[in-house]
Amino acid sequence: MGRLVMKFGGTSVANIDRIRNVARHVKREVDAGHDVAVVVSAMAGKTNELVDWCGDASPLHDAREYDAVVASGEQVTSGLLAIVLQGMGIQARSWQGWQIPIKTSDAHASARILEIDGSEITARFKDRQEVAVIAGFQGINPQTNRITTLGRGGSDTSAVAIAAAIRADRCDIYTDVDGVYTTDPRAVPKARRLDKIAFEDMLELASQGAKVLQVRSVELGMVHNMPVFVRSSFDKPEDIDPHGTPPGTLICSEEEIMESHVVTGIAFSKDEAQISVRQIEDKPGVAAAIFGPLAEANINVDMIVQNVSEDGKTTDLTFTVPASDYTRARDTITSAKAKIGYARLDTATDVAKVSVIGSGMRSHAGVAAQAFTALALRNINIRAITTSEIKFSVLIDAAYTELAVRTLHTLYGLDQT
């Protein structure tokens, strides 16, 4: 017997038939003797609809009321799944974030979890063998007693945090894919599913464009050393042995992976924009004059490259921002032109970032150099480069994204054999 958290995303609970399929997955684990808490997202498309309703009601709406509206999608799903489970003869009840409670900060629409009291849920495991069906994505701010939401993908974060709070043995994230792949299989048909991946590698993949898990959920898993299993909700529940190793990808500590490759995977993002600030006077405080206003505007800056002119008097500074923030970032820099003192602003939105990730890079030299050579042979120009201990990223023209990813995927031996 063990204790599991099972999380199901929007496509897994998109209608009543799929909710019944989720219930059969839950029943399989209950019948195997496990204590089970289930975390659910809103039905596919429902959160977008609720967001649109808020915008239609008022373009400048109260963020607190926005959270009250968008949190209702998960409330519906949790109630429906509890009803279906009860109809199957399983003890179950739904829980909203405020009922547990999941205490969060007061940053509405992007709150962070502060504390979870899982004592009532675990008591009901013991006393009633009751399945807890929990609305993901939401919590409550203890100072204001207002409902809060955790941002897009927040149900993943809810699930891992609850798993830590109730001391679960594992957190299973059921989704519409059957695990974590070396890259997006739609871009590279030869991509293969990983049996295991270290938290650090998964964190980099998620932050660099892989959309399997929300970044904060991976961070929580790493902090609490909570194993997270990514698996498909569309596998037939009756075909899975609840006592065996399920099909999917285990995200765990690096120590649990016997043999790790130099490169684990390749992520890419076309949601990038490049801004180059030309001929700035090379003096202290110039970088602060550029990035200070961007920070105040809550614009995340990613890649930063600085070039100094031959005479050492001026410098060019290039950086990237999310494409959704491009217009605001450009206007912010333009507004600060007098303070920055630049000669010209060059921008591009037809760019993509390709990132090569692997904790094995720590002990291997020349990994990035191999990539630069391979891309050059394909006549792919690199606009900017950033590196870290277990990752390097290149900025290229968006038209060459798939070619670059396929080239690097083959280069590092990640193709299926």
Pull the structure tokens for residue 14: 């998109």
Helix (H, G, I), strand (E, B) or coil at 213: coil
Tell whether residue 73 is among the known ligand binding residues. Answer: no
Mean pLDDT by 10 residues, the chain (417 residues): 93 96 96 96 96 93 95 97 98 97 94 95 95 97 96 92 96 92 91 93 86 88 95 86 83 81 91 92 86 90 82 85 93 91 92 93 87 96 91 95 96 85
102 occurs within a structural domain: yes
User: CA angle at residue 294 from 313 to 310, to 5 degrees?
Assistant: 15
pLDDT of residue 313: 82
Residues 90 and 144 in one domain: yes
9 is annotated as contributing to ligand binding = yes
Would you state the pLDDT for residue 177?
Answer: 85
19-66: pLDDT as tens digits: 999 999 999 999 999 999 999 999 999 999 999 999 999 988 999 999
- Whether the CB-CB separation of 397 and 351 falls below 8 Å is answered with yes
Is 175 annotated as ligand-binding? yes
Tokens 């606009």, located at residue: 383
| Domain total of the chain | 2
DSSP letter at 111?
Answer: -
The reply to whether 7 sits in an annotated binding site is yes
Residue 324 CB coordination number (10 Å): 10
Angle in degrees, 0-180, between the axes of helices 286-296 and 326-335, rounded to the nearest 10: 130
pLDDT of residue 306: 85
Instruction: Measure CA 136 to chain center.
Output: 15
Question: Are 404 and 354 in the same domain?
Answer: yes
CB 95 within 8 A of CB 130: no
Q: Is 285 annotated as a binding residue?
A: no
Q: Is there a binding annotation on residue 263?
A: no
- 148 assigned to a ligand binding site: no
The beta-strand segments (E) located in 282-383 are 304-308, 314-322, 344-357
Taking only the tens place, the pLDDT of each residue in 261-294 is: 789 999 999 989 999 999 888 888 888 999 999 9
Choosing from 194, 227, 254, the residue where a domain stops is 254
Q: Please state the pTM of the whole predicted model.
A: 0.86
The neighbouring-strand residues paired with 116 are 102
- Whether the Cβ atoms of residue 353 and residue 268 lie closer than 8 Å to each other: yes
Is 372 a known ligand-binding residue?
A: no
Whether residue 417 is contained in a domain is answered as no
Q: What is the dihedral of CA 157, 159, 163, 166, to 10 degrees?
A: 110
Is 176 annotated for ligand binding? yes
Q: Can you give the residue range of the structural domain that contains 206?
A: 3-254
Residue 28 CA: distances (Å) to CA of 4, 31, 118 = 12, 5, 23
Same domain, 234 and 381: no
Same domain, 241 and 379: no
CATH number of the domain that residue 385 is part of: 3.30.2130.10
Residue 10 known to bind ligand: yes
Last residue of a domain, one of 228, 254, 280: 254
Question: 173 with 135, same domain?
Answer: yes
**What is the predicted pLDDT for the residue at 259?**
66
Q: What is the CATH number of the domain that holds 82?
A: 3.40.1160.10
Per the annotation, does 174 bind a ligand? Answer: no
Domain check: are 297 and 202 in the same one? no
